[in-house]
Amino acid sequence: MTGKRGDAPVIVKRVVKKGHGHHGGSWKVAYADFVTAMMAFFLVMWIVGMDDKTKQAIEGYFSNPAGYKRGYGAGASPISAGTTPTEMRTKQFRLIVHQAEQRAFDAMAQRLREKADSLRGMLGSAAIEVHVVEGGLRIELIDGGASDVFFNRGSAALRPLGQVALSLVAGELISLRNPIVVEGHTDAIPYGDPAYSNWELSTDRANAARRELEASGVSPGRIAEVRGFAARQPRLRSDPSAAVNRRITIMLPFSPIADPEPRASASESD
């Protein structure tokens, strides 16, 4: 705009203030790509470690996922059964689960042996033994000699070292999901009270061990069974009265995968 004649023109500048622009979200996309790539990498490494039959089953699924999922009956993969009226094959699934648990049990057994070694000076003639057997992972707290290390003589009361040992075991068990079976065993020396035999003693000791495991962090829902065997399953069969027969056994069985019931064929259903 201009003023009076002869005056210099007045220039009015209008400044439009703009807010700060939003920060770019490109880093989120890059991070998501990175996470996806890492997931794919670990998936590939997991598959590489499988046996040839399992690799072929997975390859068949990804070659024709729609056909496999709908159950066209192609290939040896258990996924191929889909919704067809054929019996689902669980051999590959069983093998994968068993191998994974075998590796987990082996690693845990090694860690427990190392922790048990730290108590060796206090255990004396007693022992903590860990083995992966055909049925699963077996942990045993074994008394030895004339001393009572884990329990008071003729009693289900845990001694301090028994509490420490069970707490040590519980610290490892909480990392798994397998059910837990706790067993109590005695030697063949008859208990003095006729109203309280080795059967009651072995069962009460197993229950005491169960309570200590739960107090140390093991979920009560994982306790599948608590058993008392008295002297019926001696560790040293040649000497049923030996102190090594007095023990607590903690068993983690391999996960069973039951075969599903065969489905009726189309002709049978008509």
Nearest to 229 by CA among 213, 254, 246: 246
Give the pLDDT of residue 153.
81
In this structure, the answer to whether residues 113 and 240 fall within a common structural domain is yes
Are 180 and 251 spatial neighbours (Cβ–Cβ below 8 Å)? Answer: yes
Which residue among 70, 89, 108 closes a domain?
Answer: 89
What Å distances lie between residue 104 and 163, 172, 177, 236, CA to CA?
Answer: 25, 11, 11, 29
pTM exceeds 0.75 for this model: no
In a domain, 12, yes or no: no
For residue 125 the two structure tokens come to: 């003639």
CA distance 48 to 256: 25
Side chain identity at residue 143, one-letter code: D
Q: Are residues 75 and 109 in the same domain?
A: no
Cβ 209 vs Cβ 182: under 8 Å: yes
Is there a single domain that holds both residue 122 and residue 235?
Answer: yes
Mean pLDDT of 36-56: 77
172 and 72 part of one domain:
no
At 173, the pLDDT band (50, 70, 90 cuts) reads very high
Q: Say whether pLDDT at 80 is over 70.
A: no
Q: pLDDT tens digits, residue range 207-231? A: 999 999 999 999 999 999 999 999 9
**Residue ending a domain, choose from 52, 69, 89:** 89
What is the CATH classification number for the domain harbouring 186?
A: 3.30.1330.60
Quote the pLDDT of residue 258: 55
Whether residue 212 contacts residue 170, with contact meaning beta carbons closer than 8 Å, is answered with: yes
Q: Are residues 153 and 237 in the same domain?
A: yes
Model confidence at 53: pLDDT above 50? yes
Strand 136-142 relative to strand 223-228: parallel, antiparallel, unpaired?
A: unpaired
Mean pLDDT value across residues 236-242: 92
Residues 113 and 185 in one domain: yes
Q: Which residue has the tokens 């739960």?
A: 214
Q: What pLDDT is attached to residue 98?
A: 85
- 191 in any annotated domain: yes
- The CA distance from 224 to 251, in Å, is 10
For 176-194, the pLDDT digits (tens) are 999 999 999 999 988 777 8
Residue 225 is predicted with a pLDDT of 97
Does position 82 have pLDDT exceeding 70, yes or no? no
Task: Indicate whether 160 and 47 sit together in one domain.
Answer: no
Q: Which residue has the higher pLDDT, 209 or 257?
A: 209
Range of the domain at 52: 31-89
Q: Do 237 and 166 belong together in one domain?
A: yes
**118 and 111 in contact (C-beta within 8 Å)?**
no
| pLDDT for the residue numbered 265 | 44
Q: Would 13 be classed as within a structural domain?
A: no
Q: b vs e for 174-210, b when ≥16 Cβ sit within 10 Å of the residue's Cβ? A: eebebebbbbbbbbeeebeeeeeebbbbbbbbbebbb
Classify residue 156: in a domain, yes or no: yes
Region 35-48 average pLDDT: 82
Looking at the structure, tell me whether residues 123 and 248 fall in a common domain: yes
Q: How far apart are CA 130 and CA 141, in angstroms?
A: 9
Residue 11 vs residue 39, higher pLDDT: 39
Counted domains in the chain: 2
Q: Say yes or no: 151 and 233 in one domain.
A: yes
Minimum mean pLDDT among 46-55, 125-134, 236-245: which range? 46-55
Quick one: 133 and 112 in the same domain?
yes
Read off the pLDDT of residues 84-128 as tens digits, 9 standing for 90 and up. 444 445 677 778 888 899 999 999 999 999 999 988 888 888 899
